[in-house]
C-alpha cells in the first residue's frame, strides 16, 4: 500500500460528503421535473424564470440585500475600530473586551437568537429588519475583527511614524497611510460579513417579526412540493454568488498581505 493512501482516501470521502449536495443542487435546478429524484427527465431553465417572476421572492431578496449590506457596513466599520484599537494600543480590559467580541464564534446561534429575542421583547423593541441587522452584526463582528486584525498587524509601524515626523496629524496619517494599506482587508471583511448575513437563517427567523428574507423564504417554500424546483434554482444562484464573493474576498486578502509585505499563512480558499 502506498504511503498516504489512507489519508488521500479519507480526504476524497470528506470532500464528497461535504460538497456532494452542492454538486447535486444545480442538477435538479436544471431538471425538467417537479420531483427531486433520479433519473433526470431532461434539461430546462424554466424554474429560473418562475423564480424571477415570484413577487414574494423579489421582496425577500430586497429585504435580504438591505439586511446584508447594512450588516456588512456596520460590522466592518466596528471591526476597523476594534481591530485598530486592539493591534495599535494597550488599554485596561483589552483582553476581556476583545474576547467578548469573539464569543459569538463559539456560541450556538440558537442560544444567541433566543437571548436576543428575550432581550428585545423585554426592551419593547418591535421585531423587524432592524432587529435582524442587530443580530447579524453580533455574529458577523468576530469575522470582521479577525480579518482586520490580521490586516493591521501586517502594517509596518515605521510608515506611520514617518508620516507623523513629516507633520501629518494622527487622523490624516490614518486616512492617507493606514486605510489604503488595509483596504484589501476591509473589502474582504465586507464581502465575508455580507455572505454570512445573506445566508443566515436562525437569527433571521427568530428576530424577523414576519418580514420575509431569503433564508426564511427558502425554508418556508420547501413545505410546498410545487415550489421546490424554483427554490432549487434560487439555491443554485445563491451558491454561485457565495462562491464568487468568497473568491473576491480571498483575492483582496492575499493582495493585502502581499502589499504589506507580510507572510500568507492561509485564508478562506
- Per-residue pLDDT reduced to its tens digit, 180-221: 778 878 888 888 899 889 888 899 989 888 888 888 888 887
The DSSP call for residue 31 is: B
Q: For the segment 31-45, what is each residue's pLDDT rounded down to a tens digit?
A: 776 666 677 777 778
Of 257 and 176, which is predicted with more confidence? 176
**Strands, E, within 99-241: which ranges?**
none
Selection from 153, 267, 128, 132 nearest residue 202 by Cα? 132
Residue 137: pLDDT band with limits 50, 70, 90:
very high
Which residues are 43's β-sheet partners? 31
User: Which grid cell is 249?
Assistant: 474576498
Q: Where are the domains of the chain?
A: 1-44, 47-259
> How much is the mean pLDDT over the chain?
80
Cα dihedral 202, 206, 208, 210 in deg (nearest 10): 110
Q: What does the pLDDT read at residue 261?
A: 60
Beta bridge partners of 31: 43
* CATH architecture type of domain 47-259: Orthogonal Bundle (1.10)
Top-ranked range on mean pLDDT: pick from 33-37, 80-84, 93-97: 80-84
CB 204 within 8 A of CB 139: no
Does 132 or 176 have the greater pLDDT score? Answer: 132
Which three cell numbers, joined as nine digits, stand for 248?
473576491
* Number of separate helices (H) and strands (E) present in the chain: 12, 0
Average pLDDT (45-67) is 83
Q: What is the pLDDT of residues 226-238, one digit of tens each?
A: 677 777 888 788 7
Q: How far is CA 171 from CA 3, 13, 167, 176, 198, in A?
A: 57, 52, 12, 8, 34
Amino acid at each position: 500500500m502506498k504511503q498516504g493512501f489512507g489519508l488521500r482516501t479519507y480526504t476524497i470521502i470528506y470532500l464528497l460528503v461535504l460538497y456532494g449536495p452542492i454538486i447535486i443542487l444545480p442538477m435538479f435546478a436544471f431538471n425538467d421535473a417537479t420531483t427531486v429524484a433520479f433519473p433526470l427527465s431532461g434539461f430546462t431553465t424554466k424554474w429560473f424564470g418562475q423564480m424571477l417572476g415570484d413577487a414574494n421572492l423579489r421582496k425577500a431578496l430586497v429585504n435580504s440585500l438591505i439586511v446584508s449590506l447594512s450588516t456588512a457596513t456596520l460590522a466592518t466599520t466596528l471591526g476597523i475600530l476594534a481591530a485598530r484599537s486592539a493591534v495599535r494600543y494597550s488599554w485596561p480590559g483589552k483582553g476581556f473586551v476583545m474576547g467578548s467580541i469573539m464569543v459569538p464564534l463559539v456560541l450556538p446561534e440558537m442560544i444567541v437568537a433566543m437571548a436576543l429575542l428575550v432581550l428585545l421583547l423585554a426592551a419593547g423593541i418591535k421585531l423587524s429588519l432592524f432587529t435582524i441587522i442587530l443580530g447579524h452584526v453580533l455574529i458577523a463582528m468576530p469575522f470582521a475583527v479577525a480579518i482586520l486584525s490580521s490586516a493591521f498587524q501586517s502594517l509596518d509601524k515605521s510608515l506611520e511614524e514617518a508620516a507623523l515626523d513629516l507633520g501629518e496629524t494622527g487622523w490624516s496619517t490614518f486616512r492617507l497611510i493606514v486605510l489604503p494599506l488595509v483596504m484589501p482587508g476591509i473589502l474582504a471583511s465586507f464581502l465575508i460579513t455580507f455572505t454570512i448575513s445573506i445566508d443566515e437563517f436562525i437569527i433571521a427567523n427568530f428576530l424577523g417579526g414576519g418580514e420575509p428574507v431569503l433564508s426564511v423564504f427558502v425554508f418556508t417554500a420547501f413545505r410546498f412540493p410545487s415550489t421546490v424546483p424554483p427554490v432549487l434554482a434560487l439555491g443554485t444562484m445563491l451558491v454561485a454568488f457565495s462562491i464568487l464573493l468568497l473568491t473576491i474576498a480571498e483575492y483582496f486578502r492575499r493582495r493585502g498581505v502581499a502589499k504589506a509585505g507580510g507572510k500568507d499563512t492561509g485564508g478562506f480558499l
